[in-house]
Amino acid sequence: MKIAIAGAGAMGSRFGLMLHESGNEVILIDQWPDHIKAIRENGLIANFNGETIVAQIPIYAPEEVASLDQEVDLIIALTKANQLDAMFNSIKSLINETTHVICLLNGLGHEDVISKYVAKEQILLGITMWTAGLEGPGKAKLFGTGEVELENIEPAGADFAKKVTEIFTEAGLNAVYSDNVKHSVWRKACVNGTLNGLCTILDCNITDLGTQAVSENMIRTIIHEFATVALKENITLDEEEVYQHVATTFDPNGVGLHHPSMHQDLIKNNRLTEIDYINGAVSRKGQALQIATPYCDFLTSLVHAKEGILKAK
Ligand code: NAD
């Protein structure tokens, strides 16, 4: 399959590399000049569970895409949430009436952005438990295991979504075709909506958050706001199940000692966050539906204030 990775950062490098290694025709698209230069000169170098893999994969800056004169079967969207629209605006030339897009970003409402560029029948949504990091330009650190759950958002996309499930699985990405991916997207958004913003504002790891006496009420209240808004989109979240799912992350012997990605983005790297597409999305949807979401509103404002104080870019 001819596949473009829209956003070849940490996760884009993982998906691009694994799909390239399994025989797909992959191109990478990214705007980071040093990353492009390094991959063109040395290949994409991955520390893949301790083994070094070097893959020669074509990489293009977004402004080069229009002159490529090629279209692709599948675009895998893997920018940060606030970068998605600009990315698609610059890669329109890759899209024709059979090109499908799968969105694997964290957060809510990305299908609204993507549907400006392709028909809803060509959009797939997914969540992934894979993780990835970059050690520098052209160098990915790909440890551990994971899976992908995906589904078309309109019935007409089902055959293609099943085909994507197959090629992802052939690439070792452990994909399953979901019968309710929107539920999974909301459930994952609850994990991000509780751990990311709170650990960022409190400047702490997940165990430290989870072991504070006041945390359970904050987390349950945020989950309740997500669940109330989700119900209006016909997604039923079991609040107790979601709380217990979030609570499994507090274990210091699991992921508890890690800082969530939003903490790494803002506190460590002074980057703008995805808060507007997580708690901020629930606030916006709540406002439109006249549902009060005070914890999501406040957390979104706090994170934006912190972005301002740290002059995040
Ligand atoms: P990242 O910042 O490492 O990668 C995004 C890449 O997109 C960057 O390299 C950036 O240069 C590129 N980009 C952004 N806008 C662009 C544009 N207009 N044109 C060209 N290139 C552009 O981010 P990531 O960690 O790979 O995360 C991607 C998504 O996956 C996020 O939604 C994140 O929440 C989610 N996610 C990440 C992980 C993880 O372990 N890193 C795990 C699960 C989900």
If asked whether residues 36 and 171 sit together in one domain, one would say: yes
| 282-296 confidence digits (pLDDT tens) | 999 999 999 999 999
If asked whether residues 159 and 17 sit together in one domain, one would say: yes
Sign of the alpha-carbon torsion through 158, 19, 196, 276: negative
Q: How far is the CA of 217 from the centre of ligand 1 (A)?
A: 31
Mean pLDDT, the chain, rounded, equals 97
Q: What is the pLDDT of residue 235?
A: 98
According to DSSP, residue 259 is labeled P
Domain membership of residue 285 as a residue range = 182-310
- We report the CATH number of the domain holding residue 293 as 1.10.1040.10
5 CB within 6 A, ligand 1: no
The active-site residue out of 80, 188, 285, 306 is: 188
If asked whether residues 38 and 52 sit together in one domain, one would say: yes
Q: How far is the CA of 8 from the centre of ligand 1 (A)?
A: 7
Q: How far apart are CA 301 and CA 295, in angstroms?
A: 10
Among 151, 179, 207, identify where a domain stops.
179
Q: What is the pLDDT of residue 170?
A: 98
- We report the CATH number of the domain holding residue 94 as 3.40.50.720
| 175-201 confidence digits (pLDDT tens) | 999 999 999 999 999 999 999 999 999
Reply yes or no on whether 285 is catalytic: no
Atom of ligand 1 nearest to the CA of 277: 32
If asked whether residues 188 and 250 sit together in one domain, one would say: yes
Q: What is the pLDDT of residue 155?
A: 97
Among 179, 207, 226, identify where a domain stops.
179
131 CB within 6 A, ligand 1: yes
| Reported confidence tier of residue 12, pLDDT bands at 50, 70, 90 | very high
If asked whether residues 82 and 220 sit together in one domain, one would say: no
273 CB within 6 A, ligand 1: no
In this structure, what token pair is assigned to residue 52?
A: 């070094």
If asked whether residues 260 and 304 sit together in one domain, one would say: yes
103 CB within 6 A, ligand 1: no
Domain count, the chain: 2
Q: What is the pLDDT of residue 304?
A: 98
The mean per-residue pLDDT over the stretch 119-133 comes to 97
If asked whether residues 12 and 141 sit together in one domain, one would say: yes
| 210-268 confidence digits (pLDDT tens) | 999 999 999 999 999 999 999 999 999 999 999 999 999 999 999 999 999 999 999 99
If asked whether residues 12 and 107 sit together in one domain, one would say: yes
Distance of CA 179 to the CA centre of its chain: 20
If asked whether residues 23 and 172 sit together in one domain, one would say: yes
Q: How far is the CA of 104 from the centre of ligand 1 (A)?
A: 10
The mean per-residue pLDDT over the stretch 140-162 comes to 97
| 137-150 confidence digits (pLDDT tens) | 999 999 999 999 99
If asked whether residues 116 and 187 sit together in one domain, one would say: no
Query: What global pTM score does this model have?
Result: 0.96
According to DSSP, residue 300 is labeled H
Q: How far is the CA of 79 from the centre of ligand 1 (A)?
A: 4
Burial class (CB in 10 A: 0-12, 13-18, 19+), 282: buried
Report the nearest-CA residue for atom 32 of ligand 1: 105
- DSSP state letters, 160-206: HHHHHHHHHHHTT--EEE-S-HHHHHHHHHHHHHHHHHHHHHHT--H
If asked whether residues 229 and 147 sit together in one domain, one would say: no
CA 211 vs CA 84, 192, 194: distances in Å: 35, 18, 14
| Reported confidence tier of residue 51, pLDDT bands at 50, 70, 90 | very high
32 CB within 6 A, ligand 1: yes
Cβ neighbours, 10 Å, residue 112 = 10
